[in-house]
Amino acid sequence: MMDDKLETITCTQAAISAVQMFVQRCLLGLEPEAATANIDQAKWASMSQYSLWQATRIAENRIELSPRDEQDAADKSDC
């Protein structure tokens, strides 16, 4: 159930949220007709909430260690 008075969201955000809610209901056994064998539990843990999923899609929110590792190696070699 979505409250359209609470906040403005796009149709895409609403659709993603609806799918996430449905999958969660399936995993909880609230949708008896749905098969849950094909749901990857590890992947679902990171995709189960739209806000977390959305944050991981933005490049600035991802940590890339390789440039930092290269800089650390350069700093250590100067000593």
Of 72 and 43, more confident: 43
CA separation for the pair 54, 35 (Å, rounded): 26
Give the model confidence (pLDDT) of 20-64 as tens digits.
888 889 888 899 888 888 888 888 887 777 677 777 777 766 666
Most confident of 5-9, 32-36, 70-74: 32-36
CA separation for the pair 62, 71 (Å, rounded): 18
| In a domain? residue 3 | no
| In a domain? residue 42 | yes
Choose among 51, 56, 48: nearest CA to 22.
Answer: 48
- Number of structural domains found in the chain: 1
Q: What is the pLDDT, as a whole number, of residue 8?
A: 74
pTM, whole model, 2 decimals?
Answer: 0.52
| In a domain? residue 65 | yes
45: helix, strand or coil: helix
Q: Which long-range contacts (CB under 8 A, 24 or more apart) does 25-33 make?
A: none
Q: What is the pLDDT, as a whole number, of residue 50?
A: 67
Residue 55 domain boundaries: 11-77
